[in-house]
């Protein structure tokens, strides 16, 4: 993939709240609940029930999926700006992966009812959030497909990719400051 | 001829109102494909996506040697071929009709107008795209975990993290068991319990026509 396209995708991917005005960022905070995790704390386990999605404001979260042989395989590392657990929120199903804090983490939790309410009361905010979720899912699906191809084609252990921390946008900073995150 | 009634039957579009389905129908092109037909090809630019109305679509990854691997099969109600419209990158995979397929084709322009609006229809359309993409991602994650585990090339979890995950899984199981135990279902035996042998319903298989 050409670097320019990859870079574009990355920027579009991380700037979740870029398209929102300050007022809309504030409106978003009405629908969410803050969660803090210590190192090693599990946000949710694979197979868990839950219909919340999370926006990671600070810290690192690791994603594990149980392989067919029963081993926990480390699939991804998430960084601030990433959306977590949106699969079970938009499409009720058991959690498809386990997520564990690798550093102290601050997250915003949005449950299914709040998302539905947001779609009615703040349609633009909900639309921007869903747009970001779609970008995120698309990016990850392509990434996972590429890694499957790479793993099939080579014997070398592929590194677990980690995106560089999201470039801070004014909107993200505003959101973070509302929750007293540096 | 694709009608609102047919769209209703696809199952995946249950959240849409009739008026919204009408708009979707009016904004898209009805397409039919015979088994084996290609809907779109890996590596090409994406100019449209599809809402599968009936039939099964295969997602194929070309292996560079003229062959391909089957990634997954998509059924009615699924949105297919949307990745290239979302990020503008070339097609990730080839879509081919496994059976006869009826689909609605949405051009890039219509897709972006639907996704970009902040109307109830746009919200449901976005949800549908997110659901379709999310399900494909779930399967892709499984494939990756399987490949990495089989080759022994994965980064394994530390014992501490494994213990944490196991503890949460056990807690979930306990909650589930408690919830099941809490459901107080009075046992009322049926007066008559008769299991009808299948041939009494379908008729003897050997009966001449």
Beta strand segments in B14-151, E? 29-33, 38-40, 48-54, 57-62, 68-74, 79-80, 94-97, 101-107
Q: Sketch out chain B's domains with CATH numbers.
A: 4-151 (2.60.120.10)
Give the pLDDT band of residue B102 (cuts 50, 70, 90): very high
For residues B12 and B7, what is the distance between their CA atoms, to the nearest angstrom?
9
pLDDT digits (tens, 9 = 90+) for A122-173: 988 898 889 888 988 898 899 888 888 888 876 555 556 655 555 556 666 7
Contact B74, B139 (CB under 8 A): no
Q: Put residue B17 in one of left, alpha, beta given phi > 0 → left and psi -120 to 50 → alpha.
A: beta
User: For residue A76, what pLDDT band results from cuts at 50, 70 and 90?
Assistant: confident
Q: Note whether A26 and A87 are within 8 A (CB).
A: no
Q: What distance in Å separates the CA atoms of residue A147 and residue B91, rounded to the nearest whole number? A: 16
Give the mean model confidence (pLDDT) for residues A63-74.
84
- Please compute the mean of the pLDDT values over residues A53-66 and round it to a whole number: 90
Can you tell me which residue has the tokens 């949710």?
A44
Name the minimum distance, in Å, from the CA of B62 to any CA of chain A. 10
For the stretch B126-165, pLDDT in tens is 999 999 999 999 889 888 888 888 877 666 667 777 777 7
- pLDDT at residue B207 in the model: 45
- Please give the pLDDT value at position B130: 92
Looking at residues B186-208, what average pLDDT do you find?
46
Q: Name the minimum distance, in Å, from the CA of B35 to any CA of chain A.
A: 25
User: How much is the pLDDT for A14?
Assistant: 42
Higher pLDDT, A59 or B170: A59
Of the candidate ranges A58-62, A172-176, B119-123, the one whose mean pLDDT is the lowest: A172-176
Sign of the alpha-carbon torsion through B174, B180, B184, B189: negative
- Residues B72, B95 contacting (CB under 8 angstroms): no
CA distance linking residue A42 with residue A53, whole number of Å: 14
Confidence (pLDDT) at A121:
93
Residue A9 pLDDT class (50, 70, 90 cuts): very low
Statement: residue B10 has pLDDT above 70: yes
* Average pLDDT score, chain A: 79
Quote the percentage of chain B above a pLDDT of 90: 35
B107 versus A23: the higher-pLDDT residue is: B107
- Report which of residues B148 and B203 the model is more confident about: B148
SS3 category, A65: strand
Interface test with A, best of B77, B137, B179 (most A CBs within 10 A): B137
Mean pLDDT of A70-75: 83
Question: For residues A134 and B126, is the Cβ–Cβ distance under 8 A?
Answer: yes
B81 has pLDDT over 70: yes
CA distance B22 to A140: 32
The pLDDT > 90 percentage for chain A reads 24
d(CA B168, CA A50): 13
More confident residue, B207 or A139: A139
- State which residue of chain A sits closest to B71, comparing Cα positions: A145
Q: Which site among B130, B139, B171, B173 would you substitute to test the A interface, given the most A Cβ atoms closer than 10 Å to its Cβ?
A: B130
Distance CA A5, CA A9 (A): 6
At A180 the pLDDT is 65
Over residues B13-45, the pLDDT tens digits come to 878 888 888 988 999 999 999 999 999 999 999
DSSP string for B90-118 = PPSSEEEESS-EEEEEEEHHHHHHHHHS-
Q: What is the pLDDT of residue A140?
A: 87
How far apart are alpha carbons B132 and A141 in whole angstroms?
11
pLDDT > 70: percent of chain B? 81
A170's CB contacts (< 8 A; 6+ apart) are: A22
Q: Which CA distances in Å does B4 have to B8, B27, B90, B125, B162?
A: 6, 13, 32, 16, 50
A72–B83 C-beta distance less than 8 A:
no
Domains observed in chain A? 9-164 (2.60.120.10)
Mean pLDDT in residue range A92-106: 90
Flag if B138 and A139 touch (Cβ within 8 Å). Answer: no
B145–A130 CB contact, under 8 Å? no
Residue A13: is its pLDDT beyond 70? no
HSE, side-chain direction, 13 A CA sphere, residue A156: 5
The C-alpha of B86 sits at a distance from chain A's nearest C-alpha, in angstroms, of: 7
In the predicted structure, residue A102 carries a pLDDT above the cut 60: yes
CB–CB of A137 and B137 under 8 A? Answer: yes
Residues of A in contact with B117 (CB under 8 A): 127
Residue B187 exposed, middle or buried by CB count within 10 Å (0-12, 13-18, 19+): exposed
Give the Cα separation of A111 and B206 in Å (integer).
56
Tell me the shortest Cα–Cα distance from A173 to chain B, in angstroms.
24
- Token readout for B160 is 């501490």
| E-strand stretches of chain A | 33-37, 42-44, 52-58, 61-66, 72-78, 83-84, 98-101, 105-111
């Amino acid at each position: 993939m050409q670097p320019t396209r990859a870079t574009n995708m990355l920027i579009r991917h991380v700037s979740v709240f870029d398209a929102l005005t300050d007022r809309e960022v504030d409106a978003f905070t009405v629908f969410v609940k803050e969660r803090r995790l210590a190192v090693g704390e599990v946000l949710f386990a694979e197979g868990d029930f839950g219909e919340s999605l999370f926006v990671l404001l600070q810290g690192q979260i690791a994603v594990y999926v149980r392989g067919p042989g029963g081993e926990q395989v480390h699939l991804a590392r998430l960084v601030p700006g990433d959306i977590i657990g949106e699969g079970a929120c938009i499409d009720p199903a058991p959690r498809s992966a386990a997520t564990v804090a690798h550093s102290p983490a601050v997250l915003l939790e949005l449950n299914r009812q709040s998302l539905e309410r947001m779609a009615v009361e703040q349609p633009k905010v909900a639309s921007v959030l869903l747009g970001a979720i779609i970008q995120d899912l698309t990016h990850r699906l392509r990434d996972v497909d590429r890694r499957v191809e790479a793993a099939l084609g080579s014997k070398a252990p592929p590194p677990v990719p980690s995106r560089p921390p999201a470039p801070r946008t004014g909107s993200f900073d505003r959101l973070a400051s509302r929750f007293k995150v540096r | 001829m694709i009608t609102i009634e047919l769209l209703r039957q696809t199952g995946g579009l249950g959240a849409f109102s009739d008026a919204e389905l009408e708009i979707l129908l009016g904004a898209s092109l009805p397409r039919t494909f015979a088994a084996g037909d290609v809907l779109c090809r890996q590596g090409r630019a994406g100019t449209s996506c599809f809402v599968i109305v009936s039939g099964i679509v295969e997602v194929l990854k070309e292996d560079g040697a003229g062959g391909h691997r089957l990634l997954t099969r998509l059924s009615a109600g699924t949105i297919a071929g949307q990745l290239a419209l979302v990020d503008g990158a070339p097609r990730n995979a080839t879509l081919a009709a496994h059976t006869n397929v009826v689909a609605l084709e949405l051009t890039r322009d219509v897709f972006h107008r639907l996704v970009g609006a902040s109307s109830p229809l746009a919200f449901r359309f976005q949800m549908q795209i997110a659901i379709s993409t999310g399900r494909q991602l779930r399967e892709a994650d499984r494939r990756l975990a399987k490949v990495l585990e089989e080759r022994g090339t994965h980064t394994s979890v530390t014992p501490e993290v494994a213990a944490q995950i196991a503890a949460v899984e056990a807690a979930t199981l306990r909650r589930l068991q408690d919830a099941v135990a809490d459901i107080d279902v009075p046992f009322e035996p049926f007066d008559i319990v008769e299991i009808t042998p299948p041939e009494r319903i379908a008729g003897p298989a050997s009966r001449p026509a």
